[in-house]
Amino acid sequence: MAKLLQAPPKFLLPEWHVANKSQYSSTECQRAKSERLVAESQRLVDEIEKTTQRTQSDVNKKIEQRLDEIKFWKKELDDKLDQLVKETEVLFTFKTRLEKALENCREPLYIAQKCLVYREQRVGIDLVYDEADHELAMEVEVLQGVISLLQRTMEETSEQLSSVSVDDWVDFSNVNVEKADKQRNNTLALEALINRILSQTANDLRKQFETVNLALQNRIKETKDAKDKLATHLAKVMDEITSQENNIAALNKAILAKEGPAKVAQTRLESRSHRPNVELCRDVVQYCLIKEVQEITCNIGRLKDMLAQAEAELKGLSRRQLSLQEEIQVKENTIYIDEVLCLQMRKSVLHSDF
């Protein structure tokens, strides 16, 4: 217990001085190190501040340059977009013209096809493939070709209107400016093409329409001329029928007129055959009576032969009359189809510029 409570050892005075000097020296080193660190830190802070300011200045300049570039491209795109919007509106107008032109082709096509159907109702020899048939078939072909061309152009126009949508220009870049120029040029080229197509097709349809009308008018004139000639021949046949009927009546009257003399001559011959004995001889009177009977019989035969020929000719004339009347009806039917059904219906068609 006495050892545990023993007092700590005491240092010597030199040791005390050494220990204090050591503390002074360590403290001075630590302080000098700290001062150097403070100075280094201040230098670093100053350097970083300068670097930051310089970097910020560069960034600000880059941002300003970028903003200027963006403003430039935005203006370029806005200008191009404005041009595209205007061209799109024009293209919509062309599309409307195409739709109207397409619609305006449907009725003429129906009418041309209907005319061909009507002309199939011609009968007899008038059911002929003539110039009007040829031009009507050509008109149908032209109209179908125009409709097909307009439909293809409509599809191309619709595709172009998709490719110039405003939504395509949300990114501001040189690529979009070039694309805008390309699309605008495509639109202008398409508009020029549509103009040419509409102008050419309208001219083609108008020309073919007039050609068909002229062919129908010429055919109507030809048919009317043929009908008039048939009517003239019919009138002549009717006159000839009347003449032949009078001829037959005259022949019958002549035959009837010869029956009396024939009976008288026959009766005389019969009576003279009853003469008695030697009186029953062939005298001059007998020969005259025989000659008279033979002559009258021959003449009646000739008259009957002529009557048979006249009656046969009358039948032929009657058949010819019926044939001419039927043919005139055929011509009247053809004239009605071409002049009333076809030409009148075609008057409703107006081929104006598309």
pLDDT by residue for the chain (354 residues), tens digit each? 445 567 777 778 787 778 778 887 888 888 888 888 888 888 888 888 888 888 888 878 888 887 887 788 778 777 877 877 777 787 788 788 888 888 888 888 998 999 999 999 998 888 889 899 999 999 999 889 888 888 888 888 777 768 555 455 445 455 566 666 676 677 777 778 778 888 888 888 889 889 999 999 999 999 999 999 999 999 999 999 999 999 999 999 988 887 777 777 677 666 666 666 655 566 676 677 777 778 878 888 898 899 999 999 999 999 999 999 999 999 999 999 999 999 998 888 877 766
Tokens 């739709």, residue located: 99
**Amino acid type, 318:** S
> Is residue 167 within 8 Å of 243, Cβ to Cβ?
no
Quote the tokens at residue 192. 């020029």
Question: Domain total for the chain?
Answer: 2
**Global pTM exceeds 0.75:** no
Whether 343 and 219 share a structural domain = yes
> Is residue 104 within 8 Å of 91, Cβ to Cβ?
no
Tokens 């203006």, residue located: 75
Whether 122 and 246 share a structural domain = no
For residue 176, is it within any domain? no
For residue 13, is it within any domain? no
Backbone CA torsion sign across 54, 58, 59, 60: positive
Whether 231 and 105 share a structural domain = no
For residue 4, is it within any domain? no
Whether 220 and 336 share a structural domain = yes
Please give the residue range of the domain that contains residue 320. Answer: 211-353
Residue 320 phi/psi, 5-degree rounding, is: -65, -40
> Is residue 190 within 8 Å of 163, Cβ to Cβ?
no
Quote the tokens at residue 231. 């009517």
Whether 221 and 347 share a structural domain = yes
Whether 237 and 335 share a structural domain = yes
**Amino acid type, 89:** E
Contacts of 136 (CB under 8 A, 6+ apart): 112, 115, 116, 119, 212, 215
Choose one of 78, 100, 128: the last residue of a domain.
Answer: 128
296 vs 92: CA distance, rounded Å: 103
For residue 142, is it within any domain? no
Confidence (pLDDT) at 342:
92
| Inter-CA distances, 68 with 63, 65, 170, Å | 8, 5, 18
Confidence (pLDDT) at 255:
86
For residue 88, is it within any domain? yes
> Is residue 109 within 8 Å of 209, Cβ to Cβ?
no
**Amino acid type, 37:** L
Whether 227 and 116 share a structural domain = no
Confidence (pLDDT) at 246:
94
